[in-house]
Chains A and B, each alone.
With several copies, the nearest count.
Chain A
Amino acid sequence: MTEVTAPQAPSREVGAQTLTLAKALNAGLRRAMEDDPKVVLMGEDIGKLGGVFRVTDGLQRDFGEGRVIDTPLAESGIVGTAIGMALRGYRPVCEIQFDGFVFPAADQIITQLAKMRLRSLGSVNLPVVVRIPCGGGIGAVEHHSESPEAYFAHTAGLRVVACSNPVDAYWMIQQAIACPDPVIFFEPKRRYWDKALVDPDVPAAPMGDALVVREGTDATLLAYGPMVKTCLEAAEADDRSLEVVDLRSLSPLDTEVLYASVRKTGRCVVVHEAPVFGGLGGEIAARITEACFYHLEAPVLRVGGFATPYPASRLEDHYLPDLDRILDAVDRTCAW
C-alpha cells in the first residue's frame, strides 16, 4: 500500500475520491471519530503501525493515544475492556488482527457483549464494534484466512455485517459505530486493495439492507464480503442471466430482498468461504425454501468451504469457491 499524507479523506471537505477498501475504512473511521469524541479505537498494533492492514493508519497521530489505543496482546482483554469503556459512555471500535484470533474473545463477545443489554432490561446499551478482517485468498499461514461469521450470526444480541466494496466499507463502518447495538463487522481482507470512488456526500444504503448488485432472471447468487466480487465475476462470465445479491447484513438478514429475487428467478445458489456445514448458507437456504417453496424450481444449492479447517495456502485455490465452482452449482440448479 502506498502512503498518504493527511487529510486521509474523503472528508466532507475533500469530496469524492477513489479509495481502496482499506482506505475507505480508514476514512470512515476518521469521520466517525471527528463526529463523535466518544469513538475510540482499540486493538493490537493499531497505533504507530496503523494495523497490519493499515486500516487505522495515521489515526493515532491525529487523534492521540487516548483515542487510538494500542492494547496488550489479549483479545478477551480487548473486548472485555471495550465493554467497560462502552458502559462508561464510549463507543469503542475493536480491531481483531485476523479472523482466527477472535476466539480468545469468544466468551466476552458471546456471553457479555451480546447479552448485557437484555441482562440490564435495556438500561445499558453496548455500542461496541468488533472489526474482523476475514477470509482467505492472500496466501497466509494458518488462522489468517478464516470466516467465522456463522458463530456470531447464531449469537442473539449481536448484529453481524460484512462489507464487500469500498463505498459500503466507508458507510457501513460509520453506521456500525452509530448503531446502539454491538456489531461484528467483517472486512474482506483480500479485497482491501480493491478500489472505488467514494463520495462522502452520497450515503450508502443502511447496513441492514441487502442489495441487488446485478440484476438477472435465470438464477440468484447470494453472497457477502469477499464472495460478492467472485459472484459478480462468475455472473459476467456466464451466458445465463444471473442476479447477484449482496447480503451486507448477515444477522439479521434482509430476507425480503432475498425472497423477492428468488421468487423471480426460481433458483438460488448461496456462496460463502466458510465451511458449508453449519454455515450461514444453511440458514439462508432453509428460510428461502420455507418462504418461496412453490417458486423454487430446484433446491437452494450452496457453494463454500469443505468440512476441514482452512487448508495450507498452497491448497487454498482448491478450497475457495471460484468461478468454476459457482457456475457448476448454477449448472446443477438449472438442470434440476
Chain B
Amino acid sequence: MTVDAHTARDAELVQLLTPEGERLEHPDYPLSLSDQQLRELYRDLVLVRALDVESVALTRRGELGLWPSLLGQEAAQIGSGRALGPGDMVFPTYREHAVAYCRGLPWLNILRLFRGVNHAGWDPKEFGFHLYTIVIGSQTLHATGYAMGMQHDARTIAEQGETAVGDATLAYFGDGATSQGDVNEAFVFAAVYNAPIVFFCQNNQWAISEPLERQTRIPLYRRAQGFGFPGVRVDGNDVLACLAVTRRALDRARTGEGPSLIEAFTYRMGAHTTTDDPTRYRHSDELEAWKLKDPIARVKAYLSRTGLANKAFFEEVDVQVAEAAVELRAACLALPDPPPEAMFQHVYAAPHRLLQEEQAAYETYLAGFHD
C-alpha cells in the first residue's frame, strides 16, 4: 500500500524500544526514565486505549455521532504528550485524545464534542491544549502564530532584563494534512521567524481511504529540509522514542534553535472514524503486519522481561482502566442536551444587535407554542 521509501525499517527511523520489547540506545536521543515513570507510561497507554475503545462503543450505541479512534497511535500521542512542560501549548487535530489526557483535559469534554453537545468548548488556556481543529491543517498556522507570540513575550521579558522561561508549541497533524497549503505556509512562517514550535506529524499511513503515496513520494520527515529546519522520523509505536525525540525538539525550540518536524511513523489500526469502512480500500494483511508492532505490547514485554512490573501491576492497571471506562460511559449518558438558547450564546463577546433581535424573535416564536 505504501510507497517503497516508506518502510518502517528505514535506517533513519529513531527507535528505542523494538516491537519485541528490546531496549535500544540512540546516540542522539539518550533517555533515562525511572522505573516508576516507565510503569506510568504503560498505564497511560492502556488507559487511553481503554477510553478510546469505550468511546467507539458509545458511538455504536448511538451516544456519540462519530468517533475518530486513536487505536494504534497511543505511543505517538503519549510519548509526545508526556514530553510537554506546563507552559507549552498544544494544537491538536481531532484525534489527539491521548495528548488531551496528558494535558489533563477530561475525556468527557471530547465526548461532548462528538456527541454534538458543543463544538469543543474547553478553555485552551486552562489545559495548554487548544480546541480540536477539524479542518485539515488550519491549526498549524495557529500554532505557529502562538509560537511567534511566545517568542515575542520572551523578547519583551528579556528586554526588561528578566529571564524568560522557554516555552514552546506542539502542533499535531496527519500525513494527509501535509498536502494542505496551510501546513506548508506554517513551515514557511516558522522557519522565517525561527519560531519555537515542533510540528508533530502522525503518519498513520492513511488519510481516510487514501494511502500515503497520494500525498508524497518521499518520506514526510524530509519535507522539513525543503524549508530549512530539521526533520526526523521516529517509530510512532515506540513510546520511549516518541518521548525522547519530542523532548529534544521541544528543547531546541525552547532554547532558540527554532522549529523542527517529527514524523511519527505509525498506523491507523481502526477505521478513519466510526462511519468509515476501511475494508473498501485496504487489505487486512497490512493490518496484521502492524499488529505485530503494537505500541502497548512492546512496553508490557519490556516491563515484564526486565522485572520492572509484575502480574499484580498489570492486573491493577486493567482494573483501573475498566473502572475508568465504566465511569466515562456513565458520565456520557448523563450529559444533558444544550437548551435551544445555547444557539445564540458565545458567538460574539460584545452585544450584537442582530443576534439579540433574532434571539428575541425566536423566543417569541417558541412562546407561541405555549399559548
Are A and B in direct contact (Cβ within 8 Å)? Answer: yes
Residues in B neighbouring A255, C-beta threshold 8 A: 353
Contact (Cβ within 8 A) B352 A83? no
Report if A230 contacts B (CB, 8 A). Answer: no
Given A120-B120, A314-B115, A80:B144 Cβ within 8 A:
yes
B334 touches A (CB below 8 Å): no
> Which residues on the B side are within 8 Å of A79 (C-beta)?
141
- Nearest residue (CB) in A for B364 is A328
Using a Cβ–Cβ cut-off of 8 Å, how many residues does chain A contribute to the interface with B?
83
Can you list 17 residue pairs at the A/B interface with Cβ under 8 Å?
A47-B209, A77-B182, A82-B145, A84-B149, A87-B149, A88-B145, A116-B131, A117-B347, A119-B131, A122-B346, A123-B125, A141-B113, A156-B347, A179-B350, A315-B338, A315-B342, A324-B369
Asked if A108 and B141 sit within 8 Å, CB to CB, the answer is yes
Interface residue? A139 (CB, 8 A): yes
Query: Is B119 an interface position by the 8 A CB rule?
Result: yes
Give the docked Cα–Cα distance between A87 and B142 (Å): 8
Decide if B358 touches A84 in the complex (CB within 8 Å): no
B215 and A72 within 8 A (CB) = yes
Q: Which residues of B contact A115 (CB under 8 A)?
A: 119
Of A40, A80, A141, A325, the contact of B116 (CB 8 Å cutoff): A141
Which residues on B sit within 8 Å (CB–CB) of A83?
141-142, 145
Report A-chain residues with C-beta under 8 Å of the C-beta of B124: 87, 120, 123-124
Q: Do B350 and A181 touch across chains, with their CB atoms under 8 A apart?
A: yes
B173-181, B241-249, B295-303: which one contacts chain A? B173-181
Task: Tell me, yes or no, whether B83 is within 8 Å of chain A by CB.
Answer: no
Q: Does the CB pair B120–A104 fall under 8 Å?
A: no
Q: What mask results when residues 302 to 328 of chain A are scored 1 for a CB within 8 Å of chain B, else 0?
A: 000011110111111011000011001
Interface size class on chain B is 35 or more
Count how many pairs of residues, one from A and one from B, have CB atoms less than 8 Å apart in the complex.
261
Cβ-based interface call for A195 (8 A): no
From A72, A85, A122, A251, contact of B345 by CB (8 A): A122
State whether the Cβ of A89 lies closer than 8 Å to any Cβ in chain B.
yes
Interface of A is mostly: loop
Q: Which of A76, A89, A112, A308 is close to B185, meaning CB atoms less than 8 Å apart?
A: A76
**Residues of chain B contacted by A74 (CB below 8 angstroms):** 179-181, 185, 188-189
Give the residues in chain B near A324, CB-CB below 8 Å. Answer: 369
**A318-B340 in contact (CB<8A):** yes
Task: Indicate whether B261 reaches chain A with its CB closer than 8 angstroms.
Answer: no
CB-nearest residue of chain B to A57: B280
The docked-state distance in angstroms from the alpha carbon of A159 to that of B118 is: 23
A119 touches B119 (CB 8 A): yes
Residues of B at the A interface (CB closer than 8 Å) are 65-66, 94, 113-126, 130-131, 133-136, 138, 140-150, 152-153, 155-156, 176-177, 179-182, 185-186, 188-189, 192, 207-210, 214-215, 275, 280-281, 337-338, 340, 342-350, 352-355, 358-359, 362, 365, 368-369
Question: Contacts of B130 on A, CB cut-off 8 Å?
Answer: 87
Q: Which residue of A is nearest B115, CB measured?
A: A314
Q: Within A134-168, which residues are at the interface with B (CB < 8 Å)?
A: 139-143, 156-157, 159
Inter-chain CA distance A181–B348, complex, in Å, is 6
A77 touching B189 by the CB < 8 A rule?
A: yes
Interchain CB contact under 8 A, B146 and A87: yes
CB of A213 closer than 8 Å to a CB of B: no
User: Residue B352 contacts which of A82, A125, A307, A312 (CB distance < 8 angstroms)?
Assistant: A307
B177 touches A72 (CB 8 A): no
C-alpha gap A49/B340 in the complex (Å): 37
Q: Which of B138, B145, B207 is most buried by chain A, counting CB atoms within 10 A of its CB?
A: B145
Q: Are B214 and A121 in contact (CB under 8 A)?
A: no
Query: Could you tell me if B66 and A141 are in contact, using CB atoms closer than 8 angstroms?
Result: yes
Q: Does A197 contact B (CB under 8 A)?
A: no
- B311 nearest CB across to chain A (Å): 41
A73 to B93, CA, bound (A): 15
Q: Are A80 and B182 in contact (CB under 8 A)?
A: yes
A193 at the interface (CB under 8 A from B): no
